[in-house]
Amino acid sequence: MIEVAQPRSAAPRARVGAMPIAFLRRLDWILLAATLALAGYGLWAIAGITRYDVPGDEHYYVVRQAIALAVGLVGFAVATIVPLDLARRYWKLVYLATLGLMTLVIVAAEAIRGSRRWLDLGVIQFQPSELGKVLFVLAIAGFLVQRAGRTVQWRTLAAALGLGAAPVLLVFLQPDLGTALVYAAALAAVLFFVGARWRQLLALVALAVFIALSVLWLLPSVGIEVLEPYQVARLTLDPNADPSGVTYNLNQSITAVGSGGLTGRGVSGATQTNLDYLPEHATDFVFASLAEQRGFVGCSILLLLYLLLVWRGLRVITVSRDLYGAVVAGGLVFAFLFQVFVNVGMTMGIAPVTGIPLPFVTVGGSAIVANLVLVGVLQGIHARGHAGASAP
Amino acid sequence: MREPHRLTPQLALRVGVLGVVALVAFGILFARLWSLQVLSGDEYLNAAQNNQLRLVRLEAPRGPILDRNGRVLVSNVAGTAVKLWVGDMPEKGRNALVRRLATVLGLSPRRLARAVDEQLSDPLTPITVKTSVGEAQVKYLYEHRAEFPGVEIVQTYLRHYPYKALAAQLLGYVGEISAEELERLRKDGYRAGDTIGKTGIEAAYDAYLRGVPGLAQITVDSLGRPQSSLELRQEARAGNALRLTIDVRIQRAAEEALRYGIELAHANDHWAANGGAIVALDPRDGAVLALASSPSYRPSVFVGRLDRRKLAPLLDEEAARRANYPGLNRAIAGLYPPGSTWKPVTALAGMQEHVFSAYDPLPCTPVAYYGLDRQKFRNWNPYVNRPMTLPEALAESCDTYFYEIGNRFYLQGSEGRVRMQQWARRFGFGSPTGIDIAGEEPGLVPTPEWRRKTFTSDWDRAWNPGDSIQLSIGQKDLLVTPLQMAAFYAMLANGGNIVTPYLASAVEQPGSRGSPRLVLKRFAPKPPRPAGVDPAALAAVRDGLWRATHSINGTASGVFGSYEIPISGKTGTAEKVVPLPGYPAGHLEDQSWWCGWGPSEAARLVVCALIENGGHGSAAAAPAALRVFERFFNRKAPAPVLTESD
């Protein structure tokens, strides 16, 4: 196996300052290409999907999305350059920042469609839970790596669950069930990669099943409703149960996906999108719109780009200079994979309906910035790892 | 805690696990995507296309109704209607929308709200909020279209009646299909919101008149807002024209004659005269030339904006009673005792059953006594006291002559007591004539069995001499419609054949101007059936009915005696207890009848006239009937000499 040979010196940092060219050469260019391709493809998809959404301004959303993309690239660069060690060392600060952001949302945000997810910063609205995903992984990984080393005690596991539960609950209370699930998934991935034993992982799975059962059946049966009825319906209902109610979106979504066929109906022919049969077609159900307009071919391109990104992300785990980088990369990659699967699966009726954005495509600045930061962190790990150094 | 990091086998394994998970996840996504888009893509494409297409039914213009000479009795005019798609109304603010719409259209907001609530279970069928919407309202709704989601403005066709109230009950009216009608007729292609004939000709021949609705499709968004213009998929086929046997001239003459008869009755102190009916038909095949009923109404009250006050006499029982039932078609559904116009039935039955012989005189006395209790029966004319043959008795309408026949039937025992009724049934009484519009009343021919079944007390259940005797002069329980009488007199007029009255003669293609009309279907009249009466007996009756209008003592000689066209017929003065203001138990009023035909030989027209509470037949109904003959033969008659005879 490849050994991490560098001593804990300022060498990488010095290289950044002294030899930016060398640092650039240490980036994962395939990952970068995949990221930029995804961002561009998403922008192109959004251009078609939102063309008729704002009467008189075909480019309303595209322009905003492009600006967010530019901001996101800055975030990407920053996340790449800033040493990850800072996060590892000050994971408590990162954790507190995450909690603070979530609390701020609950306290200060205005409710939009019944949920408090956005912070109004005057010109723009900011959805902290998106960036929170990255911070959450950094913080929990920091805790576990510091505490556990290579073996995870049951005690440590419980502590990690406790630490992780707080942000998850805060997100859940916004309420944003989907993002809370992403956090939980990231938490699980971090535990997985930090080296929790299989027995412990099995216990985690059991716990998850128990929580799910409690929330959906046990607690309601004794009169405690944890989820709103619409949430339960979205999680469990089949698409044919109630065509105009909770599952209306899902039915229209499946119809939109199916109607795309092999090559899609084109931008102007996509009636499900253009005539608003598909609600939220620029956000949660954006994949269905893409499927309607661009068909199987267009969707395959997107999914393959995701797969490419995930593959490169997995590779980053293996080249990480230290355990912390590997764990962070693992958590982020799995969170990313989870989002893609749940969102795309939801539009096709094989995953529960939750408000999870589709990375790089869904309209929304916070999400695009957060996803670019996520890739930036991966790039940073890669650049400081030992794959780029000696290019074996 | 710093330590050199190496990729442990454990970590490598876990990366591998996640890699497999990722591959499986993407595999699932691809499989699902392939299944939806490539395997069932066409199906979903279809669903998506149907999603945005709404089919709109295009009303077909209803066919016109023509008289026998092609004059248009009912036609169409274009109008604008407002429809409301309940499913497209926003849930929030629905009530406010209903209120605003009601205000714009001048409707009751509460009633509209109720209609909307009722339609919520079937949101894909529009409510017709109002037909015949004014131009200003249409313009307002168009301009504020965005504020009225679910409101649709459509072209529609409204019934137009060039002759106003003429033949109102006969023609009937149209309206929006009711829930019960829809349930019954859905299999025939009727849909909610369709216009359907409700009564009369409009109802009976709706299948021909309504045409075939067209279909258009319109692209709508998910809120039902139109995104394209209407695209025709199937053009509406206009309804066909229906030609009636009615002659506008005769119909109008009959309605005027009714008014005239009522005026005559009023002039004769029969102040309660307030309605009537005249039937004019061709005795050779039963073609109805006029079917008049008074009082009447304008069918246009059912068109466009409905005015409750104007409609009340037609729909509300209490208001109808006060207006003397203008919606009732008295010619087919008015029930009256026939009085002396019945005597030919008694005569024919009596001769057929050999109860008496036409030319063996029977006494005509001022009074006669029958039954064990020697009950007294009077003749209407107390000054006559001589033997008469049947023709004389018919001409002078001698009651006692017919009492004797009735009594002889009674004396024949239980079998004899139903023989006259059997003949009456054979002549068409006691059952509908079979005319081709709905609503006909069967009337009542009383029999001993009917009495037993109908009444409870022994007194009422018994069939007494008086029952047979009164029946012989068309009184007591007997009830007939003017149409039944006309059909019976048609049999007398045509030499013994029973005809089935009918109104529709043909279905025609509504020819455009100048092009020859195309007859699509001709309604053949039912062939006349021989009634089975002895020609000699019939001749004696016909002789009597000619004398009734021409001999010196004929009851209607003063009316028809000096008319150049020979008319035969019979007067009737039937006593009927009618509800009158001031008489809680009702009051016995004379129903004025005259039925007959002309020319006496080779008859071409049967007229049967009835003036409710009009007094003697010779004083009101007979002169009214003469008016119809005058118009039919285009020959004026000298002014009638009005007498008060039965």
Q: How many residues does chain B have?
A: 646
Name the most confidently modeled range: B1-5, B88-92, B224-228. B88-92
Q: Which of B11, B19, B37 sits opposite A296 (nearest CB)?
A: B37
Position A3 pLDDT exceeds 70: no
Instruction: Name residues 54-113 of chain A within 8 A of B (Cβ).
Output: none
Tell me whether residues B48 and A149 touch, CB distance under 8 A.
no
Check residues B14 and A54 and name the one with the higher pLDDT: B14
Express each pLDDT in A112-169 by its tens digit: 666 667 776 656 677 888 889 999 999 999 999 888 665 678 888 898 999 999 999 8
Question: What pLDDT score was predicted for residue B549?
Answer: 96
Instruction: Please name every residue paired with B232 in a beta bridge, in sequence order, or none if there are none.
Output: B216
Tell me whether residues A258 and B37 touch, CB distance under 8 A.
yes
Question: What pLDDT score was predicted for residue A234?
Answer: 64
- Give the pLDDT mean for A36-46: 95
Query: Which position has the token pair 């009976």?
Result: B204
- Give the pLDDT mean for A37-60: 89
- Give the pLDDT mean for B509-534: 82
Q: Look at phi and psi of residue B248 and say left if phi exceeds 0, alpha if psi is from -120 to 50, else beta.
A: alpha
Tell me whether residues A260 and B15 touch, CB distance under 8 A.
no
**Cα-based torsion angle of the residue sequence A327, A328, A332, A335 in order, rounded to the nearest 10 degrees:** 50
- Name the pLDDT band for B123 (thresholds 50, 70, 90): low
Check residues A320 and A386 and name the one with the higher pLDDT: A320
Question: What pLDDT score was predicted for residue B287?
Answer: 96
Question: What pLDDT score was predicted for residue A4?
Answer: 42
Average pLDDT, chain B: 89
Question: Which tokens belong to A345?
Answer: 């699966």
Q: Which of B5, B42, B48 sits opposite A322 (nearest CB)?
A: B5
Q: Which residues contact A92 (CB under 8 A, 6 or more apart)?
A: A139, A142
Say whether the peptide bond before residue B599 is cis (omega within 30 degrees of 0): yes
Amino acid at A155: R
Could you give the residue ranges of the DSSP H alpha helices within B495-568?
535-550, 557-560
> Which residues in chain B have their CB less than 8 angstroms from residue A255's CB?
44, 47-48, 51
For chain B, report the end-to-end CA distance as a whole number of angstroms: 133
Query: Is the Cα dihedral B508, B510, B514, B520 positive or negative?
Result: negative
Instruction: Name residues 317-346 of chain A within 8 A of B (Cβ).
Output: 317-318, 320-323, 325-326, 330, 333-334, 337, 340-341, 344-345
Chain A's closest residue to B22, CA to CA, is A337
How close does chain B come to A126, measured CA to CA in Å? 30
- What is the 3-class SS of A13-69, one letter each residue? HHHHHHCHHHHHHCCCHHHHHHHHHHHHHHHHHHHHHCCCCCCCCCCHHHHHHHHHH
> Which residues in chain B have their CB less than 8 angstroms from residue A265's CB?
45
Chain A's closest residue to B25, CA to CA, is A341
- Give the pLDDT mean for A64-78: 93
Check residues A387 and B54 and name the one with the higher pLDDT: B54
How close does chain A come to B117, measured CA to CA in Å? 18
Q: What percent of chain A has pLDDT over 90?
A: 46
Output Rg (C-alpha) for chain B, integer angstroms.
35
Q: What percent of chain B has pLDDT over 90?
A: 59
- Give the pLDDT mean for A327-346: 95
> Which residues in chain B have their CB less than 8 angstroms from residue A259's CB?
41, 44-45, 47-49
Question: What pLDDT score was predicted for residue B614?
Answer: 93
Report how many Cβ contacts below 8 Å link chain A to chain B: 152
Question: Which tokens belong to B357?
Answer: 């012989």
B91 touches chain A (CB under 8 A): no
Question: Which tokens belong to A319?
Answer: 């080249």
Tell me whether residues B37 and A257 touch, CB distance under 8 A.
yes
Find out whether A383 and A23 touch, Cβ atoms under 8 Å: yes
**Long-range contacts formed by A22-27: CB under 8 A, 24+ apart:** A23/A383, A25/A388, A26/A382, A26/A383, A26/A384, A26/A388, A26/A389, A27/A80, A27/A379, A27/A382, A27/A383, A27/A388
Give the closest residue to B228 by CA, choosing from B47, B44, B56. B56
How close does chain B come to A23, measured CA to CA in Å? 21
Question: Which tokens belong to B330?
Answer: 């008295």
Q: Which of A3, A326, A333 sits opposite B11 (nearest CB)?
A: A326
The least confident of A217-231, B42-56, B200-214, B362-376 is A217-231
Instruction: Name residues 23-82 of chain B within 8 A of A (Cβ).
Output: 25-26, 28-30, 32-34, 36-38, 40-45, 47-49, 51-52
> Which residues in chain B have their CB less than 8 angstroms from residue A271's CB?
48-49, 51-52, 219
Instruction: Please name every residue paired with A119 in a beta bridge, in sequence order, or none if there are none.
Output: A126
Average pLDDT, chain A: 84
Angle at A256 between CA A253 and CA A257, to 5 degrees: 90
Question: What pLDDT score was predicted for residue B646?
Answer: 76
Q: Distance (Å, rounded) from C-alpha B502 to C-alpha B41? A: 59
Q: Distance (Å, rounded) from C-alpha B278 to C-alpha B593? A: 10
Question: What pLDDT score was predicted for residue B78?
Answer: 81
Question: Which tokens belong to B504?
Answer: 């529709």
How close does chain B come to A223, measured CA to CA in Å? 30
Question: What pLDDT score was predicted for residue B514?
Answer: 56
Q: Distance (Å, rounded) from C-alpha B46 to C-alpha B30? A: 22
Express each pLDDT in A89-114 by its tens digit: 999 999 999 999 888 887 776 666 66
Question: What pLDDT score was predicted for residue A173?
Answer: 84
> Which residues in chain A have their CB less than 8 angstroms from residue B27's CB?
none
Question: What pLDDT score was predicted for residue A248?
Answer: 73
A interface test, pick of B7, B8, B91, B121 with most A CB neighbours within 10 Å: B7
Helix (H, G, I), strand (E, B) or coil at B200: helix
Question: What pLDDT score was predicted for residue A14?
Answer: 44
Question: What pLDDT score was predicted for residue A239?
Answer: 47
Question: What pLDDT score was predicted for residue B225?
Answer: 64
Query: Is the Cα dihedral A375, A381, A384, A389 positive or negative?
Result: negative
Give the closest residue to A306 by CA, choosing from B32, B29, B15. B29
Helix (H, G, I), strand (E, B) or coil at B292: strand
Question: Which tokens belong to B162?
Answer: 């060039």
How close does chain B come to A67, measured CA to CA in Å? 30
Structural domain spans, chain A:
31-50+59-359+370-380
Instruction: Name residues 129-168 of chain A within 8 A of B (Cβ).
Output: 146, 149-150
How close does chain A come to B25, measured CA to CA in Å? 7
Tell me whether residues B21 and A296 touch, CB distance under 8 A.
no
Name the most confidently modeled range: A18-32, A42-56, B252-266. B252-266
Question: Which tokens belong to B513?
Answer: 């101007």
Position B358 pLDDT exceeds 90: yes
Position A236 pLDDT exceeds 70: no
Question: Which tokens belong to A258?
Answer: 């199916």
Tell me whether residues A258 and B21 touch, CB distance under 8 A.
no
How close does chain A come to B219, measured CA to CA in Å? 9
A383 touches chain B (CB under 8 A): no
Q: Which residues contact A153 (CB under 8 A, 6 or more apart)?
A: none
Q: What percent of chain B has pLDDT over 70?
A: 95
Query: Which position has the token pair 């073996």?
Result: A151
Question: What pLDDT score was predicted for residue B560?
Answer: 95
Tell me whether residues A193 and B19 touch, CB distance under 8 A.
no
Say whether the peptide bond before residue B61 is cis (omega within 30 degrees of 0): no
Question: What pLDDT score was predicted for residue B426?
Answer: 95
Helix (H, G, I), strand (E, B) or coil at B77: strand
Neighbours of B192 (CB within 10 A): 18
* ipTM of the prediction: 0.90
Q: Distance (Å, rounded) from C-alpha A269 to C-alpha A252? A: 16
